[in-house]
Amino acid sequence: MKKNVMILLTSAFAFVLMAFVSKTANDPWPVPDKYLKMTNPVKPDAASIATGKELYVQHCQSCHGKKGKGDGSKAAQLDTECGDFTTAAFQKQPDGALFYKTFEGRKDMPSYKKKIPDANDIWAVINYMRTLK
């Protein structure tokens, strides 16, 4: 009897914990107004998209996947879902919001302010992400 109660309590605790984690894992990601109003200063030409792709492969692909679907080789190891860059919801975000999220990071998403210190390179990555539809 004690064993059954213990199993039941453990299962209940695990269920509550999983519900909490799944609820908080993909909380809305607020972006300061300053960033929402930013425009991408880097023209989305062939050169910037090529630079963006190179940086994406180096820094982003392992989690976000080759085609930006959030299915990279490291994605399953994360506590939060990787964003799917091919969705309409992702693509309708302003460039400034994507810059902020890439620059600052949160939870499993690291900050790239030191890894990609040139802001124009982050903008180039955003230009590349815009091609993933």
Say what the pTM is: 0.80
- 100-114: burial string, b at 16+ Cβ within 10 Å, e else: bbbebeeeebeebee
CATH of the domain at 59: 1.10.760.10
Return the pLDDT at 104.
97
In a domain, 97, yes or no: yes
pLDDT digit string (tens) for the chain, length 133 residues = 665 544 544 444 444 444 444 434 568 999 999 999 999 999 999 999 999 999 999 999 999 999 999 999 999 999 999 999 999 999 999 999 999 999 999 999 999 999 999 999 999 999 999 999 9
How many angstroms separate the first and last alpha carbons of the chain?
A: 56
In a domain, 116, yes or no: yes
Angle of CA points 32, 98, 52, to nearest 5°: 150
Domain count, the chain: 1
Domain range spanning residue 67? 29-129
In a domain, 9, yes or no: no
In a domain, 4, yes or no: no
